[in-house]
Amino acid sequence: MFINMSGDYQNNLPDPEVVARAAAEAPAPRVLEDYNQAIEILRDKKFTFREIAEWLNKKFNIQADHNSVWRAYTKHMDDYGAHLEARADEELERDEAIETAQCNGASEAVSHTPVQVIESAVKTAPPSKVKRKRQRRQ
């Protein structure tokens, strides 16, 4: 299928000055950064970025996810400050998840110490298939 792109096509386009005037009169869209004061208040109250995104959506129908809230909040920070905020948020989410699990009775005391490997088990373990294939090639 061939579309004829003749000079008539360009004549049907609006005058660029009309488009420019319409653009100048158009209201600027709200961006998430416009709500940084609210985001800061909620962060001070220990809201996670995920909870802030949910709060903005439920209360004011502002479409945001936790990543966009974090980006807006940390936009004027240096990389290290933004990193610290991300780490603090991860710790908040982890602590809340542990607390929720404990309240629901789904959590048991788990040791975070690494399990020691028993040397005899390592020495007597049968070789893997890959290791056996390598041994055959030699």
52-100 confidence digits (pLDDT tens): 999 999 999 999 999 999 999 999 899 999 999 999 999 989 998 999 8
Q: What is the pLDDT of residues 105-114, one digit of tens each?
A: 875 555 555 5
The angle that helices 66-74 and 36-44 make with each other, rounded to 10 degrees, is 100
Residues 6+ apart with CB under 8 A from 73: 36, 39, 40, 43, 49, 85
Select from 72, 94, 92, 74 the least CA-distant residue to 83: 74
In this prediction the pTM is 0.56
